[in-house]
A and B are shown apart, each in its own frame.
Chain A
Amino acid sequence: MLFPRIIPCLLVKNKGLVKTVKFNIPKYIGDPINAVKIFNEKEVDELIVLDIDATLQQRGPDFNMIENLAAECRMPFCYGGGVTTIKQVQRIIQSGVEKVAISSSAVENPNLVTEAAECMGNQSVVVVLDVKKSFIGDKYEVWTHNGSKNTGKCPSEFAKLMERLGAGEIVINSIDNDGLMKGYDLALVEKIRESISVPLTVLGGAGSLQDIGQLIQKYGAIGAAAGSLFVFKGVYRAVLINYPNRKEKDELIKENYKIY
């Protein structure tokens, strides 16, 4: 049986880990390598690391950091941030990364998604969509540059296009729900899920294992990603890297996954 994936998502800024709220007010969490070591011990399903400075600073990926993280990761590793060329995609995969996430470049140069898929296979090409509701009309739109630039694109249509161009996974990240820990935007998930047939990972808003359970109940073997949930503990958001142990995780899946 294919299991749902429960995935910590770590954000890198100035070489340190941070956690944001609605893509703002980054709070320092700690050192990336240390976090990876702890997540190794906790046997996490997968890990996503996003360098949130790279595109804004118009620089490429920090290959030194990527190599060090990839070497440390005992779980599958997805890297995103500042990826604009096929050479960078190749170098990231050669560093021992399983999946490369493309975000801003997927909007500006969709051809990169196709090039990456032809070279690396679609299973290693992830497109991350940062999504926000518009002020007027509650319309979902894709944003880039760490939530500062509105593309005006409809996320479900864009996700569909990305799949056609070669993306093997779509990560949908809700800017509105980011860091609030009040649950995923399920209406958004529904829109995306029905428009694509590649794996979907949902990010933004998870505040408890129940939120993840809810996602699994509805969508089965989906990717449930979270930032705050796995780096904070308690109402005062004290930094504490955490993750359900195998028993807790299996119970969560058993309770919610219908075909189990």
Chain B
Amino acid sequence: MITIVNYGLGNIRALVNIYNQLNIPINIAAQCDDLKAASKIILPGVGAFDYAMQRLEISGMRQILDEIVLHRHVPVLGICVGMQMLACSSEEGSLPGLGWMDGEVKKFNSSNLCHSMCVPHMGWNNIKPVKTNCLLKGLDRDARFYFLHSYYFKSNRNEDIIAVTDYNGEFACAVNSESVFGVQFHPEKSHKWGIRLLENFAKI
């Protein structure tokens, strides 16, 4: 069962609607007990880094998630700030991240961007796969996704990067290390391409 972590941030219902449409069973976890049946985890998110980390702590699910992801190796997909939370730290805040992946979150440098390239990076952009990965299966060259962020995940391990996006230089928009996955864009808001990616995650 795919379990969506509801710690009060992120578009849970949009994810639910997509999986319902795909006839893929899901449940929503708002407390530890709800995570028992999880064979996949989605960590959604819209918000600032520290606020998101605080909300996850307050939800009481942090410890059991560590156990499920790090020891039972249940696949997890972090979305947007949910991806950034996988890192060890973020320039957006002072709290430590989950540390499930080796990386840190950096701010886009707006001073060297030209005038139509603003921060936040907001809107639809292409992704370029840099290696074959089950998460990106079946996505055509034209695939585009919705981005909404001022910070990006900087991986310390190049081999973890599975796709990059160009925004005045390339940054990692999708990462994977063992059973931990993260996407900077919002697949739940990216029409058919997002639906395909979420379906791919369900099939892992």
Report chain B residues within 8 Å CB of A223: 122-123
Chain A residues with a Cβ under 8 A of chain B: 1-5, 43, 45-46, 67, 70-77, 93-94, 96-99, 117-124, 168-169, 193, 197-200, 219-223
Task: Say yes or no: A1-B126 contact (C-beta < 8 A), given A70-B11, A71-B13, A98-B189.
Answer: yes
Minimum Cβ distance to chain A for residue B34 (Å): 17
Q: Are A71 and B118 in contact (CB under 8 A)?
A: no
Q: Which 8 A-B pairs have the closest CB atoms?
A: A220-B116, A96-B11, A123-B120, A71-B13, A121-B48, A3-B124, A199-B118, A199-B122
Does B177 make an interface contact (CB < 8 A)? no
| Interface size grouping (class) on chain B | 35 or more
Report chain A residues within 8 Å CB of B70: none
Report chain A residues within 8 Å CB of B120: 122-123, 168-169, 198-199
Interface string of B72-98 (1 = CB under 8 A from A): 000000000100000000001000000
Closest to B115 in A: A193
Report chain A residues within 8 Å CB of B18: 74
Report chain A residues within 8 Å CB of B157: none
Q: Are A98 and B167 in contact (CB under 8 A)?
A: no
Closest to A169 in B: B122
Task: Describe B's contact surface by its main secondary structure.
Answer: mixed
User: Contact partner of B123 among A3, A71, A97, A122, CB < 8 A?
Assistant: A3
The winner among B118, B125, B151 for most chain A CB atoms within 10 A is: B118
Minimum Cβ distance to chain A for residue B75 (Å): 23
Minimum Cβ distance to chain A for residue B79 (Å): 12
Does B149 make an interface contact (CB < 8 A)? yes
A76, B122: Cα distance in complex, Å: 11
A2, B167: Cα distance in complex, Å: 7
Does B67 make an interface contact (CB < 8 A)? no
Interface string of B123-155 (1 = CB under 8 A from A): 111100000000000000000101111110000
Does B9 make an interface contact (CB < 8 A)? yes
A63, B81: Cα distance in complex, Å: 24
Report chain B residues within 8 Å CB of A193: 115
Q: Are B13 and A3 in contact (CB under 8 A)?
A: no
Does B36 make an interface contact (CB < 8 A)? no
A260, B150: Cα distance in complex, Å: 23
Q: Are A93 and B47 in contact (CB under 8 A)?
A: yes
Task: Say yes or no: A70-B48 contact (C-beta < 8 A), given A75-B191, A94-B8, A221-B117.
Answer: no
Minimum Cβ distance to chain B for residue A180 (Å): 27
Report chain B residues within 8 Å CB of A219: 115-116
Q: Are A98 and B119 in contact (CB under 8 A)?
A: no
